[in-house]
A = this chain, B = another copy of it.
Amino acid sequence: MEIDLTILGNSSASPTRDRNQSGQYLKMGKCHILIDCGEGTQSRLLKYGLSYQRIDIILISHLHGDHYLGMFGLLNTMSLNGRKNDLIICAPKELKELIELHFAISNSRLTFNIQYIDLGADETFLENEKIQIQSFAVKHRIPCFAFLINELNVRRKLNIDVCEKLQIHQKYFNKLKDGEDLILENGTIIKNERVTFDPEPAFSYGYVTDTLFLEELCSNFLGVQVLYHEATFLDNLIDRAKMAYHSTAAQAGRFALKAFVSQLVIGHFSSRYTDLNDHLEEARSVFPNTELAIEGKCFQFK
């Protein structure tokens, strides 16, 4: 499964001249997930050539404006352009009320159905054949949730050379990828391991934003491939971070270290900072494999 993560914004609370607020577009195979949707997200999707109509699932961590104010315009644009496919919105329950009030006042009806999933607990709230998404409560001024997105049922890879040598018809390929043995018409059994390779490890993505540094949360993200963790402040403002229920770049690094993740991406930078290199340096001093969430950057993980 191809995994692309495009950053749509990395600024906390207010935008800056060149940094928009939170939003990420995660493409996992055929599943397109928007994670948070700050004001201006639909413009960023256009700018970076990402299709808003292909979004299947929207995850909203919490109801501070910088994480959800782009929702109304995005839904409106989807509708104006004739969307028919259902959309799943996973968010604190009050978002439904806000969306319905907005569209009632503007006398507008959407052309598609929304299926709301209320976030409220540490649970698996969405699962299909390909992915599973879990929420975990974090500590912020209002209810706020971290997400863990796991790839499921990663398929085995065909050993094409052996398949060709054994003249296996391609109609059997899906079964083989699913790990099944093959019984040919003459009764011969071909063991799966003979014609396939082990699958790549399942991809997992953790998204932890707008929270105090929560050491006890690490156990839920053990060994994930990629962790996004907010880094609103630098460590010299750790008291300010605590007061505002946010984390520092060093704390994001510590979280990644304790959770034994493979890669850390930091974002949600306070608008007071114009140069983000200090954040990168500070996080890397704790957890070297760290990258900045820079708007427009597309991480390709597989």
Contacts and interface: CB of A to CB of B under 8 A. Distances in A.
Interface of A: 13-17, 20-21, 39-40, 42-43, 46-47, 63-66, 69-70, 72-73, 76-77, 80-81, 94, 97-98, 101-102, 105-108, 141-142
B39 A15 contact: no
A63 B13 contact: no
A16 B106 contact: no
A42 B39 contact: yes
A88 to B, nearest CB: 21
B102 A98 contact: yes
B40 A14 contact: no
Given A69-B72, A101-B101, A107-B142, A42 B64 contact: no
A142 B77 contact: no
A107 B77 CA distance: 28
Contact of A94 (B13, B40, B72, B105): B105
Max count, chain B CB within 10 A of own CB: residue among A16, A42, A73, A94: A73
B42 A142 contact: no
A94 B65 CA distance: 19
A40 B47 CA distance: 14
A121 to B, nearest CB: 19
17 contacts: A13-B77, A14-B73, A14-B77, A14-B80, A16-B46, A21-B73, A39-B39, A39-B40, A39-B42, A65-B72, A65-B73, A66-B76, A69-B69, A69-B72, A69-B73, A94-B105, A107-B141
* A-B complex: 4 closest residue pairs judged by Cβ atoms: A14-B77, A39-B73, A40-B40, A94-B105
A106 B42 contact: no
Nearest to A64: B106
Contacts of A142: 105-107
B14 A63 contact: no
A17 B66 CA distance: 21
Nearest to A52: B14
A142 B103 CA distance: 12
Contacts of A72: 39, 65, 69
A94 B107 CA distance: 12
A211 to B, nearest CB: 15
B40 A17 contact: no
B14 A76 contact: yes
Given A13-B80, A17-B46, A39 B101 contact: no
Nearest to A140: B107
A43 B63 contact: no
